[in-house]
Amino acid sequence: MKKGVLMLLALMLFAGMVSAANSYDLDSFSEKPMQAIVVEERDEVRFDLLNGTHTVIFDRVRDVGFRFTGYAYLEDENSMNGFATKKMSSYVDVNKDDVYDLVIAFYDSTFDEKANKTYATVVFKTIENPLTAKATGVPDKGGVIKERVYSKYLAPIGAVAFVLVLVLVAMKSKRKPVIEKKEEAASEQKE
């Protein structure tokens, strides 16, 4: 019995060491509204914003982006899930007032072959004017969140698709159905 308890304790200790991750605290956003940090899978980042301490845990870190679980206010048990890639950032509403407060963006990644781990550079940026916040964006080399506007491509693509549909409808209306063609051919043969 004692052996079993000792084995269980050793297993729990080993599992704790295997799943150990780093924990980081960001500086005050009032002093630094944009901060970058390098994280790996299972790392935790804590920060103070809007009268509370919040936590982001990086569930998965890959060379193309990351997935995270966020906890707004440490005493709140509800979590929020998000992800970010080079083409899309996550906008977070930490105080649940339906206004985005923070951008979490994927900047870059590196792979350490010796450790067999991927590290991601993550940018946290507060949103100065929540009313103009867009749901996409990535940091550029100057450290500014650059908005990606995909809607400028939608209008030309839509126009081309519309013209193609019109051309197809026009071509189909000019064609006579196959049955009518066969009937015309049969009537011509009789004459």
What pLDDT digit, counting tens, does each position of 45-54 carry?
999 998 889 9
Residues ≥6 apart with Cβ < 8 Å to 104: 56, 68, 82, 84, 89, 90, 92, 122, 123, 124
Higher local confidence (pLDDT), 178 or 106: 106
- Token pair in block for residue 71: 């906890």
Q: Is the dihedral of CA 41, 60, 62, 121 positive or negative?
A: negative
Mean pLDDT throughout 45-74? 90
Torsion, Cα of 74, 75, 77, 79 (10° steps):
-30
pLDDT tens track for 134-181: 544 444 333 333 333 444 455 677 778 888 888 888 777 766 555 565
- Token pair in block for residue 44: 């935790």
pTM score above 0.85: no
Percent helix, strand and coil across the chain, each to the nearest 5? 30, 35, 35
Residue 57 · residue 42 · CB < 8 Å:
yes
Give 5's pLDDT tier (boundaries 50, 70, 90): very low
Mean pLDDT throughout 54-72? 92
Provide the pLDDT for residue 56.
93
Q: Given a cut of 60, is residue 119 above it in pLDDT?
A: yes
**Taking Cα atoms as reference points, which of 86, 99, 107, 87 lies closest to residue 35?**
107
**Taking Cα atoms as reference points, which of 68, 35, 73, 69 lies closest to residue 53?**
73
Give 41's pLDDT tier (boundaries 50, 70, 90): very high
Burial of 95 (0-12, 13-18, 19+ CB in 10 A): middle
Q: Does domain 20-148 have CATH number 1.10.10?
A: no
CA distances from 15 to 10, 57, 81 (A): 9, 18, 25
Q: Given a cut of 60, is residue 26 above it in pLDDT?
A: yes
Q: Given a cut of 60, is residue 70 above it in pLDDT?
A: yes
